[in-house]
Structure 1
Amino acid sequence: MRGKLLGMDESFEVVVIGAGAAGLMAATRAAERGRRTLLLEKNTKPGVKILMSGGTRCNLTHSTDARGIVAGFGAGGPFLHSALAALGPDELVWMFEAEGVATKVEETGKVFPASDRALDVLLALRRMLDRSGAELRLATPVLEIAREGDGYRVFTDDGGIHAERLIITVGGQSYPGCGTIGEGYAWAKTFGHKIIPPRPALVPLTSNERWVQELSGVTVPDVLVEVVADDSPPPSKGGARGGIPNRPTPQEKADKKNQKPLTQPLPSGERVRMSRRASFLFTHFGLSGPAPMDVSRAITERPQAGLWKAICDFVPNVKENEILDRLAAEAAHSGKKGVLNIIAELAPRRLAEALMTRARVPHDRRAAELSRNERLALVEGLKRTAIPISGTLGFKKAEVTAGGVSLDEVDSRTMESKLAPNLFFAGEILDLDGRIGGFNFQAAFSTGFLAGEKA
């Protein structure tokens, strides 16, 4: 079979594998530069994940500058400097608007097509690709990749294709129903690349707490979520190894330096792993929405760390003493106002009811009847409710993949491999994952553009 494929003599200057956001942009840019370009896609249509993203609306980017995008990727952000210099958020918006896709900025900073149709984004990308002269082949899965002289031979069911330069943009492992099953990692390994273990990111969290599940459908627009774990090392019969105390690793030291403290000290052994303030959704399985999903990567990175829990401040704009003052003022004014109505002015009514139940405050309690301990318990519920986390929904529901091709082995100025000449990577296959809100699409478009510019 392989001998038969080697007999094929089809050749392109640039071959791009994977017609997602990064691949469509890479192939378009390479062809615009006059390169004879082929874009291969195993699905029967391109941009499947684009069509699914943002609730089928496609969150193109975030309303910020290049520095804001970099900050949204944490430690990996600086890798994007050159890519964003080539195609930043403003340039990306202008590019789509020039193709007739008007955009809008929502209150959260997310940039969407004004039509709220992801299809409009994909159609614009298709028009740009067609105009560039690049060839698109659908339903053409890649079986194998091998070095061939200074270039590469790509094997498909239809034969072998020589590529002077090869760009791999097949994504990670999130939403495997779109075809992103991680085959790109094996190809990268073939050429010596290190793969940072892939794990789900921007994924909903699961909780076995019945009261949480009973609140399914309740949305809280502004919540500070901080995930912590009992990170204490398990006790051993002989104590610390060799009598030497356990010391934090360099990564743990960096984590600690970047941690945001909680509103009060945590019990011994607990440490904040990540925090995020944004919208929050209770579901039948646990927690979703931007805030829980943004902190999910801390849990998937260290699932063995212990008993994870999300500590939720449901009223981050209201200080504890302000809540106590409001309860006291209502009690002093007439005392007849129901406590439930007071709490429901701060949080959704169903959540207010749940917090009162957890605080052991009867729902018919009047403000004047509240004891000091009950007032403190209500404040604790509003400001520091701890929800045990059992896990996540995994890759099937993850918006992006954390991990992937190590950034240390890719030239950020060109997206070219430092180990294999004329091999480029772009998009989610790289060890890059950013905040929810268009950051990851911007990275895909920008790294794809730069790879197409340099290939």
Structure 2
Amino acid sequence: MACSILLRHKLKIAIIGAGAAGIIAAITAKRLNKNIQIDLFDANKGIGKKILASGNGRCNISNSQVTHKNYLGENPDFTSYALKEFTFKDFEKFCKSIGLLLDIKETNKVYPLSNEAKSVTKLLDLALDSLGVNIYLESLISDIEKIENKFNIKTQTQEYKDYDKVLISNGLGAAPQLNANESGLDFASKFEHSFNPTYPSLVGLHTDVNYHSRMQGVKKECNVSLYINGQLEQEIFGDVLFTKYGVSGFAILDISQVAAYNLSLYQDVKIAVNFFPKINRNDLSDQIQSLFKTTPNQKALDILTGMISNKIAPVLLEICKVDSEAKAGQVNAKQIKAISYQLNQWKLKITDTQGFGHAEASGGGVRTDEVDNKTYESKKCKNLYFAGEVLDIVGNRGGFNLQFAWASGYLVGKALGKH
């Protein structure tokens, strides 16, 4: 008798957020157990909006070389089990199963072979549809409650009742223009979860100087050093782009993860930009001195524009207290040393980030020690699950955030598919 009652009861699951984690969880669960009902909710008009936006719209959907060292959070090692159980090879296999072929670059970044982001969401959409997953778009969830053993979820206009399991995979606040929000943290708090403060990650940084606009648009490959409370924390080589608010570019996006995290903790954050990382300071000083000696009657400003951008040169002289009209022969050895020092270590105090609206990812989130690292089930509430960005895990630039979303979503899918 008990067996026949069990057969009559169809497992009913709600997934909040149709991003990478929610989508793969739905597909994995349905493939394991055809006899379950899955309702997938998303605030947008289509699924996978952040997948479409990844890699500057080219869809950098994964990275072929991933370890827990590519992640930040209270406990980055939390990712290890998921990354081991759902490796890049497993992701590749999953993609083939929905008809998606991948292009693996020498940098280990992974893109769809079609080079079109839309082909990714289209194939995921078709997979969900063929499995009979119910998709509710433009459905922003406003509340979740648990009555006895069942969950009810609400939008502004409707209520959906009697779910056996719920997955919260609707991310955090990065990219509010894609309807991103932090409602997942509100839902988590309701079920007695705690979370670490959120902050924008992979984002431009604001600096406290008054010459932003004068250097705007200058882009150069530099070495960037990050200092937290005066201590060297990190060094990265790459593009630096000077902007009207401060600095951006790939090197800045990479270093912004640790910078933004420490800003959220009210630490003193500074960076030092080295415009000539391959030349040591003394050699640079000698080279400038030699140039100035060769053409003593030429303006120092004009000579410097042969080395660096004509937008940087006047600011450089101003900082080093050299008259912009000064001839090269009038610049003394002490001033030349100051110029070379500044070019080797252009220090900038970081005051803020460009915010969630310009961030590629969010740091902070639901504390991972309150979530099972094998099933991603809540330790506070039975049959409640978390996956992807809503957790206090944020990856480096280059497809790492999406790979964690796929991996965590896959493990959740396996857990959801079990009766």
Determine helix, strand or coil for the equivalent of 1:139: coil
Determine helix, strand or coil for the equivalent of 2:153: strand
* Deviates most, 76-85 or 41-50: 41-50
Deviations 1:272-322 (A, max 9, x none): 455443321111111112332333343454457466432222233332233
Aligned-residue offset at 1:63 = 4.4
Q: CA RMSD in A?
A: 3.2
Aligned AA (2:180): T
Distance 1:115 1:361 in 2: 54
Aligned-residue offset at 1:44 = 2.1
- Asked if 1:372 is matched to 2:371, the reply is no
Distance 2:289 2:112 in 1: 48
Question: Residue 172 of structure 2 contacts residue 365 of structure 2 at CA under 8 Å; is this kept in 1?
Answer: yes
Query: Which residue of structure 2 lines up, in the alignment, with residue 263 of structure 1?
Result: none
Distance 2:152 2:289 in 1: 75
Distance 1:346 1:11 in 2: 71
Distance 1:75 1:344 in 2: 46
Distance 1:163 1:352 in 2: 64
Query: Which residue of structure 1 lines up, in the alignment, with residue 182 of structure 2?
Result: 182
Aligned AA (1:174): A
Determine helix, strand or coil for the equivalent of 2:75: helix
Query: Which residue of structure 2 lines up, in the alignment, with residue 250 of structure 1?
Result: none
Aligned AA (2:49): V
Distance 1:357 1:335 in 2: 20
Using structure 1 for the length normalisation, give the TM-score. 0.78
- Asked if 1:62 is matched to 2:23, the reply is no
Distance 1:44 1:105 in 2: 31
- Asked if 1:271 is matched to 2:231, the reply is yes
Deviations 1:118-169 (A, max 9, x none): 2232223223323433221212232322224444233343432322222110
Distance 2:17 2:96 in 1: 24
* Deviates most, 154-163 or 438-447: 154-163
Determine helix, strand or coil for the equivalent of 2:239: strand
- Asked if 1:294 is matched to 2:295, the reply is no
Check 1:318–1:451 CA distance in 2 against 1; reply closer, same or farther (3 A cut).
farther
Distance 1:103 1:48 in 2: 21
Determine helix, strand or coil for the equivalent of 2:171: coil
Distance 1:439 1:367 in 2: 50
- Asked if 1:309 is matched to 2:270, the reply is yes
1:10-409 matches, within 5 Å, as 12-35=11-34, 36=36, 37-64=38-65, 66-67=66-67, 70-73=69-72, 76-93=75-92, 95-96=94-95, 99-105=99-105, 109-156=108-155, 157-229=157-229, 270-272=230-232, 274-297=234-257, 298-299=259-260, 301-303=262-264, 305=266, 308-327=269-288, 330=291, 347-361=308-322, 371-409=332-370
1:423 to 372, 378, 384: 384
Distance 1:24 1:132 in 2: 12
Question: Residue 200 of structure 1 contacts residue 395 of structure 1 at CA under 8 Å; is this kept in 2?
Answer: yes
Aligned AA (2:160): G
Aligned-residue offset at 1:423 = 1.3
Aligned AA (1:296): S
Structure 2 runs not aligned, ≥5 long: 1-8
Aligned-residue offset at 1:422 = 1.6
Aligned AA (1:359): C
Aligned length: 404
Check 1:278–1:151 CA distance in 2 against 1; reply closer, same or farther (3 A cut).
farther
Distance 1:58 1:208 in 2: 34
Distance 1:345 1:26 in 2: 56
* Deviates most, 33-42 or 408-417: 33-42
Structure 1 runs not aligned, ≥5 long: 1-9, 230-269
